[in-house]
Structure 1
Amino acid sequence: MKIRTGFGYDVHQLQEGLPFWLGGIEVPHTHGALGHSDADVLIHVICDALLGAANLRDIGFHFPDTDPQYKGIDSKKLLAGVMRLLRERGYEVGNVDSTICLERPKINPHIPEMQRVLAAVMGVAEEDISIKATTTEKLGFVGRQEGVAAYASVLIVKS
């Protein structure tokens, strides 16, 4: 058995009037993340962590923002594509540990639904996906509510 770890980090600017997609669900908020796709920062960091663990570069390499087919795409489709790439190489997900950095809205009430959605897309158990949320105590761009950041680490296993 071979195990590998991966790490992901991403940020997106927040803008008033956009839908706020996070962890595969739309979270009610006055501001949403700006990006070429639906700008789901949590899914993006999970994709990057998984790709990194398998030494498959990053999300931008596989799904470039210069390609019009990815304009506005649901990030769950990107995650499903990443899972196909991993499984083609014989890898399965051991676990995901992630943190969302955001002043508001409060994310904790939405975490169980995010876990359900992500587990279904990834074909893993909900208990294998950890999602945490924190603020930056009003410091930096996150603290000023100008953007959202997220981190993820993953473990993948090849039998």
Structure 2
Amino acid sequence: MFRVGIGFDIHRLEKNRKLIIGGVEIPSDYGFIAHSDGDIFFHALTDALLGAVGYGDIGQLFPDTEKKWEDIPSSVFLEKAGRIIKEKGYSVLNIDGFIVLQKPKILPYREKIIQNTAKILNIEPDRIFIKGKTYEKIGDIGEGKAAFAEVVVLLKKEENDEKYKS
């Protein structure tokens, strides 16, 4: 049995904040305005994993109304989502995503983001791909005032689950 999940996250950017994407601190004058570290890629991926197994979403598990999640690394959210899918008997076959940010370019950081993600989810890096895109100077994202990420995941039910054997 296969399950697909889709995740999306968007945050505004503000001067003199850290820009963290995929657990990588990227040199920039601007960073995300968020309750946690605002890592749009890890937030979108967490939502995709949780949604694929019907577990809810990042806002339910880690509400921004709770002080304990303030300024926390988003890797904590992703680790928890990874444990949940494993507990439900699933493994990650594929992660495909894109990060839309006018600047800086994602390409120089892509491999490190992939490596971080693979380590957290305990999967091979070749199961993950990330594309960096700009917004062609259109709207708030194109003007460098915000950024977003979208991720699709494919999960497979482990074969030792009798319920899904034919």
For Structure 1 versus Structure 2, the TM-score category normalised by the shorter chain is over 0.9
Does 2:106 align with 1:107?
yes
Q: Which whole-Å CA distance do the structure 1 matches of 2:21 and 2:29 have between them?
A: 14
- AA of the residue aligned to 1:142: I
Shift, 1:108, TM fit: 0.3
**Structure 2 segments unaligned to the other structure (5+ residues):** 159-166
What amino acid is aligned across from residue 45 of structure 1 in structure 2? A
Cα distance in 2 between the residues matched to 1:142 and 1:18: 17
Q: Which residue of 1 aligns with 2:41?
A: 42
The residue correspondences of 1:8-157 to structure 2 (distance < 5 A) are: 8-157=7-156
State the shift of 1:144 in Å: 1.0
CA distance in 1 between partners of 2:140 and 2:152 (Å): 23
Matched residue type, 2:125: E
Q: How many angstroms apart in 1 are the aligned matches of 2:101 and 2:26?
A: 12
Relative to the length of structure 1, the TM-score reads 0.98
Amino acid at match of 2:128: I
- SS of the equivalent of 2:3 reads strand
Q: CA deviation at 1:123?
A: 0.5
Q: Please give the root-mean-square deviation of Cα atoms over the aligned residues, in Å.
A: 0.6
Alignment partner, residue 161 of structure 2:
none
Deviation per CA, 1:58-116: give whole Å up to 9, x if none: 10111111111111000011100111111111111111100000110011010001111
State the SS of the aligned residue for 2:131: strand
> Shift of residue 57 of structure 1?
1.2
Moved over 6 A (4+): none
| Residues matched between the structures, number | 158
- Structure 1: where are the runs of 5+ without partners? none
Structure 1 SS opposite 2:155: strand
How far did residue 56 of structure 1 move? Answer: 0.9
Taking the aligned partners of 1:42 and 1:128, their CA distance within structure 2 comes to 16
